[in-house]
Structure 1
Amino acid sequence: MGRIARFVRNDSSTIYHIMSRTALDGFPLQDIEKDHLMAIVARLSNFYFVDLLGFCLMGNHFHLVVRMHTEEAATDEEIGKRYRKQFGDDAVIMPHQVQEYRRRLVNLGAFVKDIKQGFTRYFNKRRNRKGFFWGDRFKSVIVQEGTSLVNLLAYVDLNPVRAGIVDKPENYRWSGLGYLVQTGNRHGLLDMNLGMHEWNEFNPNEIIRKYRQFVYETGAMDTGKGKQMKKEVVEKERKKRYRLNRVDVFRHRCRYFTDSGIIGSKEFVTEVFDGVKHLLDSKDQRRFTPVGGVEGVYSMKRLPGAVGG
């Protein structure tokens, strides 16, 4: 069976959850490797027309949540500016190169390829080795703004808690929440949306506070996958003025955020599927499945083996 085409949208800004795993055994990404991978992600996020919404770099895989923009955002002036920032103030982009870069710098596959190839070169040189570092094609899921996004970001930030590495997600510096809390979002690396703009919250301090509350309360729930946050840790944060006003209890279903092709409202999933279904060989109808515990959020699960790449 051939590879299933990746779901991408080129006609509008789109959020993607990107996942990629190493081909090596064990946990080859140690602290220094994570620092370098994070530096590559930061540099390329400033080069490409992409907003970095969240991330988590683990010992054998990484998660990125990004918003890819369209070619309309890639003006000639902005392309030249980013080209010089990337290659030096004296670098000159030729007129015939502009359109090529316009297409490339809004391309999801090119963005991830540059990240993975750049890190592989570093890792192989550092370890004096040759060959592949990453495994199969990276996975990508299209994600809707709002409820779907904030649940996804919580899932990503809770990775080190579920793995038993830290008790509190912000104690892990190679994650979005850890970066925000520990560095104050140094260099403006992360887009300060965190899924809260849909609820008309634009105050950065309130966004972080409310998002932390959401992450802690989500992490305290038994999802049947990985470790929960310790009750005493959550209770201590509650006493610091957490306001528990969520009506719908979120039961974390990891498969929706890793094995889906699209997640969002039923209308959003239908709209996106209608725009990408021509990429599928199968003519079968897809079933839109409600995500348990999150009212109004649906998933379109891809064919077995389809997700990845």
Structure 2
Amino acid sequence: MLGMAKARLLAPWTGVEDRSAIYHVVSRVVGREFLLGRAEKEQFVKYMRLYEAFCGVRVLTYCIMSNHLHILLEVPPASERELSDAALLEKLEGLYSSQHVDLVREQLAVLSRSRTPEGREAYQNLRETYTSRMWDMGLFMKTLKQRFTSWYNKKHGRRGTLWEARYKSVLVENGLAARTMAAYIDLNPVRAGMVKDPKDYRWCGYGEAIAGNTLARNGVLRVISELESDLSNDGWSGARDITRYDWRSVAGRYRLILFDDGVESSGELSGHKRRGFTSEAVEREEKRSGQLSVAEIARCKTRYFIDGAVLGSQQFVEDVVTSLKGSYLPTNRKGSGGRLGGRMKSSNLWSLRKLAENGA
């Protein structure tokens, strides 16, 4: 029928095999306006990581542009074993206020002790209110975009939808196809002429990985390794222990893929020159096996020094976070920011990158 939205293509093994699926998701701003600035991109990444943890999916890489976004998303099979109430509440703490979580905790405690069919049904219904949103690409994207739209409209005093139509998704095969798609996504800011090197764009997976973000590095490891995902009965078993891998070797290999795929084209056939790396730049990367110098890595990490709100030891940052809760920071905020990892581990420096959702 005309006007009806097409059903999304899901992996045919979903619900049948104990196997994850990888999707390339694209969503554009309504009217393709350039509405996403630095603060908006930062906030979107923050929400994306929150819902990634809650929904039990894995962002392999991503790129937030000024009027659209790309996410390479891995969705595991739904867990066959029920999350414990404690595990569910821990997930909720990342998304909801402490008052809301406390209310759910009380309701679960009361209903779990019920011996009546009505009580048991109410208990399961309460849990399914939240667990039904897990291990699902569509619900991950829906809740993420709705949450960001609400934040954006409040910040800018606007109303209505922020996104153009429905997002698009492509099912991607593990291995070569996933690596090629990841490179395509991370090369977006280079193709758009925003940066000359994807490591210098902070709102893409590769840029975050080079800056030391563990989740981003795990995404690169997953794409390069071609191994099936780390799955447990509860979904992901957690981020891979990247200390077991030679990160510099993995990063160098992925960087060579980026430069090989991102070479500029003359446009002899299409008549349109495609931005990218010169043959000389590709040759230089090949000579050094894609290995960045200490100085280059340090420059990527200076984002935390320039854009961070607080910088110091872990204890120092934790003390500041505690003192700011209820004013600049939400009272239910967990954690103390991020450690400046990689080659700077010896400095034991931590950074709090954002004070509040309103960009203060």
TM-score by length of 2: 0.61
Query: Which residue in 1 is equivalent to 2:51?
Result: 44
Contact 1:167/1:230 (<8 A) preserved: no
Structure 1 match to 2:191: 162
Tell me if structure 1 keeps the 8 A contact 2:60–2:216: no
| 1:58 and 2:65 correspond | yes
| Alignment of 1:214 onto 2:243 | no
Task: Verify: 1:238 aligned to 2:286, yes or no.
Answer: yes
> Aligned pair 1:229/2:277, yes or no?
yes
Is the contact made by 1:19 and 1:62 (CA closer than 8 Å) also made in structure 2? Answer: yes
C-alpha offsets along residues 204-245 of structure 1, whole Å, 9 cap, x if unaligned? Answer: 3322110111111111153857312133433332231359xx
Which residue number corresponds to residue 133 of structure 2? 104
Rounded to whole Å, the distance in 1 between the matches of 2:51 and 2:34 is 24
1:30 aligns with 2:58: no
The structure-2 alpha-carbon separation of the partners of 1:188 and 1:131, relative to structure 1 and needing over 3 Å to count, comes to: same
Give runs of aligned pairs for residues 47-196 of structure 1, distance below 5 A: 47-72=54-79, 75-77=82-84, 78-87=87-96, 88=98, 90=102, 92=105, 94=108, 95-96=123-124, 97-182=126-211, 184-186=212-214, 190-196=218-224
Aligned to 2:9: 7
Q: Secondary structure at the match of 2:79?
A: helix
Q: 1:223 to 1:133 in 2, by over 3 A?
A: farther
Conserved? CA contact 2:50–2:94, under 8 Å? no
Specify whether residues 142 and 202 from structure 1 end up closer, same or farther in structure 2 by C-alpha distance, changes over 3 A only. farther
Tell which deviates more after alignment, 223-232 or 46-55: 223-232
For residues 149 and 180 of structure 2, the distance between their equivalents in structure 1, rounded to whole angstroms, comes to 31
Deviation at 1:71, TM superposition (A): 2.0
> Contact 2:28–2:68 at 8 Å: present in 1 too?
yes
CA separation of 1:231/1:48 partners in 2, compared to 1, >3 Å: closer, same or farther? same
1:99 maps to a residue whose letter is: E
With over 3 angstroms needed to count, the CA separation of the structure-2 counterparts of 1:60 and 1:101, relative to structure 1, is same
Please state how far the C-alpha of 1:103 moved relative to its aligned partner. Answer: 2.4
Mark the CA change 1:7 to 1:146 in structure 2 (over 3 Å): closer, same or farther: same
Q: Secondary structure in 1 aligned to 2:52?
A: helix
Note if contact 1:196-1:202 (Cα within 8 Å) is conserved in structure 2.
no
Query: Cα gap change, 1:230/1:150 in structure 2, threshold over 3 Å: closer, same or farther?
Result: same
Counterparts of 2:80 and 2:58 in 1: how far apart (Å)?
12
Worse overlay, 59-68 or 221-230: 221-230
Give the alignment's Cα RMSD to 1 decimal.
2.6
**1:153–1:194 contact (8 Å) kept in structure 2:** no
1:57 to partner: Cα distance: 0.2
The answer to whether the 8 A contact 1:21-1:62 is kept is: yes
Q: Secondary structure at the match of 2:7?
A: coil
- Count of residue pairs brought into register by the alignment: 242
Q: Partners of 1:223 and 1:109 in 2: how far apart?
A: 39
Q: 1:71 to 1:199 in 2, by over 3 A?
A: closer
Q: CA deviation at 1:181?
A: 0.6
Distance 1:73 1:21, change over 3 A: farther
Q: From the superposition, tell whether residues 234 and 55 of structure 1 become closer, same or farther in structure 2 (CA, over 3 Å).
A: same
**Structure 1 range deviating more: 167-176 or 203-212:** 203-212
Deviations 1:285-307 (A, max 9, x none): xxxxxxxxxxxxxxxxxxxxxxx
Q: In the alignment, is the contact (CA less than 8 A) between 2:32 and 2:164 conserved in 1?
A: no
8 Å CA contact 1:50–1:106 kept in 2: the answer is yes
Q: Which amino acid aligns with 2:6?
A: I
Q: In structure 1, what residue type is equivalent to 2:64?
A: L
Deviation at 1:193, TM superposition (A): 2.8
Q: Is 1:198 aligned to 2:200, yes or no? A: no
**CA shift in 2, pair 1:114/1:154, >3 Å:** same
Contact 1:194 1:211 in 2 (8 A): no
What is the one-letter code of the residue matched to 1:180? A
Counterpart CA distance in 2 for 1:236 and 1:189 is 23
* Higher radius of gyration, 1 or 2: 2
CA distance in 2, matches of 1:36, 1:161: 22
| Runs of at least 5 residues in structure 1 that lack an aligned partner in the other structure | 244-309
CA apart distance, 1:122: 1.3
Structure 2 runs not aligned, ≥5 long: 109-122, 229-243, 268-272, 292-360
Contact 2:255–2:290 (8 Å) recurs in 1: no
So what's the TM-score if we normalise by structure 1? 0.71
Alpha carbons of structure 1 residues 114 and 141: separation in structure 2 relative to 1, 3 Å: same
